[in-house]
Structure 1
Amino acid sequence: MIIIDFILHVDEHLLYLVQQYGAGIYPLLFAILFIETGLVVFPFLPGDSLLFAGGALAAISDSLSLPLILVTCVVASILGNTINYSLGRHFGTHALYEGKLSRFIKAEELQKAEDFFNEKGKFTIFIGRFLPFIRTFVPFIAGSTKMNRSTFMFYNVISGCCWVFIATLAGYFLGNIPFINAHFSMIMLVIIFVSLLPMLISVAKGWRARRQAQ
Structure 2
Amino acid sequence: MDQIIEFFKHLIDPKWIIAHGGLYLILGIVFAETGLFVGFFLPGDSLLFVAGIYGQELSDHFFNVPFVVIMTMIAVTGVIGNMVGYWFGKKSGPLLFKRKDTFLFKKKHLWQAKEFYDKYGGGAIFISRFLPVVRTFAPIVAGIVNMERKKFMFWNVIGSFCWVFSMMLAGHYLDKAFPNLKEHLEWIIIIIIVITTLPVAIKFIFGKSPIHSHFDEFGNPIEQPPVKEEIKS
| TM-score between the two structures when normalised by the length of structure 2 | 0.76
Equivalent residue letter for 1:185: E
The verdict on how the C-alpha distance between 1:126 and 1:199 changes in structure 2, with shifts beyond 3 A counting, is closer
Per-residue CA distance 1:145-178 (angstroms, 9 max, x = gap): 1111111001101111111100010111012313
Please, what TM-score do these two structures have when normalized by structure 1? Answer: 0.82
Q: Deviations over 1:48-76 (max 9, x none)?
A: 11111111001467625412321221111
**Equivalents in 1 of 2:206, 2:196: separation in Å?**
17
Alignment-derived partner of residue 185 in structure 1: 186
Partners in 2 of 1:88 and 1:13 — Cα distance? Answer: 29
Q: What corresponds to 2:30 in structure 1?
A: 33
Equivalent in the alignment of 1:9: 13
Residue 6 of structure 1 aligns with an amino acid whose one-letter code is: H
Work out whether 1:126 is the aligned partner of 2:123: no
Moved more, 143-152 or 63-72: 63-72
Equivalent residue runs for 1:131-150 within 5 Å: 131-150=131-150
List runs of 5+ in structure 2 lacking aligned partners.
208-233
**Paired residues of 1:122 and 1:152 also in contact (CA < 8 A):** yes
2:218 aligned partner: none
1:167 maps to a residue whose letter is M
The alignment yields a C-alpha RMSD, in angstroms, of 2.3
Counterpart of 2:77, as a letter, is A
CA gap 1:188/1:146 in 2 versus in 1, 3 angstroms: same
How far the C-alpha of 1:185 sits from its partner, in A, is 1.9
- Are the counterparts in 2 of residues 48 and 191 from structure 1 also a CA contact under 8 Å? yes
In structure 1, what is the Cα distance between the partners aligned to 2:32 and 2:22? 16
Moved more, 74-83 or 110-119: 110-119
Contact conserved, 2:126 with 2:159, CA < 8 A, in 1?
A: yes
Which shows bigger deviation, 2-11 or 72-81? 2-11
Are 1:50 and 2:34 counterparts? Answer: no
Structure ID, larger Rg:
2
In structure 1, give the amino acid aligned to 2:198: L
Contact 1:30–1:76 (Cα < 8 Å) also in 2: yes
Partner residue, 1:76 = 77
1:175 alignment partner in structure 2: 175
Q: Would the aligned equivalents of 1:54 and 1:69 in 2 still touch at CA under 8 Å?
A: no
SS at match of 2:147: coil
User: Can you give the 5+ residue segments of structure 1 that lack an aligned partner in the other structure?
Assistant: 18-23, 207-214
Q: Which has the higher contact order (CA 8 A, sep 6+)?
A: 1
